[in-house]
Every structure is written in structure tokens, then in C-alpha cells.
Amino acid sequence: MYSRLNRKGNPDVEQLKRSSHSFGDLIDISLINVFRITEDEYDFLLDNISDEEIKIFLGVIDGFDSKSTFTEKRRGLELLKRKLDE
């Protein structure tokens, strides 16, 4: 079974890095790279998750002033997998 964890050198990210973008686009590129998802998968997630699920999704990433717990990270990754497998 092909997993997003097997992806190396995501071509979507490589192409996006070459062109100039706004700060918001840079954050999008970072999230695409961190989660090893394609741009289409990222767009699908944004269209199909609720505001509460976005908080869970972003809970995977440690903040500057706080660290995510293992449980928060696991919940975020489970949400990502569940949504992409729909």
C-alpha cells in the first residue's frame, strides 16, 4: 500500500517553492511539506474539515509558546488519515 509517508521530495512543494508567493502561501507550502500531502489533498482538507477539526489538525504542530502533547499529535494525524481516506 502506498503511503504519504513514503513520499520524498514532494513535486508540488518543489514547484511552489520556485515561484514568489504571499506569506499565507508560504504557510500553506509549509503545511503541505510537513504533512507530506499533495496540494490537491490540502485543498480537499480545507474544503471538508470544520473549524474544530482545523484546531485538531494544526495541534500536531508545536507552537512557539507551547508544545503539543502526544495525544494531540496523534488525534491530528488520525484526523488527517481519516479525512484523506474518505
Output the 3-class SS for the chain.
CCCHHHCCCCHHHHHHHHCCCCHHHHHHHHHHHHHCCCHHHHHHHHHHCCHHHHHHHHCCCCCCCCCCCHHHHHHHHHHHHHHHCC
- Within a domain: 74: yes
Q: Does 27 map to a domain?
A: yes
Say if residue 86 is in the same domain as residue 56: yes
58/86 same-domain check: yes
pLDDT band, very low/low/confident/very high, at 1 (cuts 50, 70, 90): very low
Considering the domain architecture, whether residues 55 and 43 belong to the same structural domain is answered as no
- pLDDT higher than 50, residue 78: yes
17: in domain = yes
Structural domain containing residue 80: 50-86
Q: pLDDT for 2-55, tens place per residue? A: 565 555 655 555 555 555 667 777 788 888 888 888 888 989 998 999 999 888
Per the structure, how many domains does the chain have?
Answer: 2
pLDDT tens digits for range 46-57 = 899 999 988 888
Q: Would you say residue 5 lies in a domain? A: no
Q: Are residues 16 and 40 in the same domain?
A: yes
- Split at pLDDT 50, 70, 90, the class of 63 is low
Give domain status of residue 69, yes or no.
Answer: yes
Q: What is the pTM of this model?
A: 0.67
